[in-house]
Amino acid sequence: MNAAASPNAPMTPYVRIGGEPVVRAIADRFYDLLESDPAYAQLRAIHAADLSVVRHGLTRFLCGWLGGPRDWFQRGTCIMSLHRAFPITPQLADQWATAAACAIAGQEDLDTDIADAMAQALGHMARGMINFGLAPAQAQPA
């Protein structure tokens, strides 16, 4: 029996937002923004010409992250490791976080508490991937 069918099981964010169709719509909106809005040109430039693989990957990641099917996580690959090869600057992380927030906000009838929590958590995750373009920490006197 799954969480949606069990009266005693807590409702996951995945179930509360409407499951895979809504998650897919968010992922598709995210990549649609990257393809159409010049504000995300730098972010779009680090992706392959064909976005179908990453659209699918983001959908699967978000499904599991929100408490739905965890097939993406069963691959055993860390999200941070997947992005380590890319020079992620603070600007790119901010573009990603903003596009994600816009994609989430674009979903009608989405619970605002979940939408806000998702946008905030994904923004933190994006900024946690910054690996390039930060000034070195200044040495503290001994």
Ordered DSSP codes for the chain? --TTT-SSSPPPHHHHHTSHHHHHHHHHHHHHHHHH-GGGHHHHHTS-S--HHHHHHHHHHHHHHTTS--HHHHT---HHHHHTTS---HHHHHHHHHHHHHHHHTSTT--HHHHHHHHHHHHHHHHHT--SSPPPPPPPP-
Nearest to 62 by CA among 103, 5, 1, 106: 103
C-alpha–C-alpha distance, residues 68 and 89, integer Å: 30
How do the domains of the chain map onto residue ranges? 14-128
> From 1.10.490.10, 3.30.1450.10, 1.20.810.10, 2.40.110.10, which CATH number describes the 14-128 domain?
1.10.490.10
Query: Is residue 31 exposed (0-12), middle (13-18) or buried (19+ Cβ within 10 Å)?
Result: buried
Angle CA 56–33–18, to nearest 5: 55
Q: What is the pLDDT of residue 77?
A: 80
Q: What is the pLDDT of residue 137?
A: 56
Task: State pLDDT tens for residues 22-78.
Answer: 999 999 999 999 999 999 999 999 999 999 999 999 999 999 999 999 999 898 888
pTM: 0.85
Task: State pLDDT tens for residues 109-130.
Answer: 999 999 999 999 999 999 999 9
With 50 as the cut, is the pLDDT of residue 139 above it? no
Q: What is the pLDDT of residue 135?
A: 64
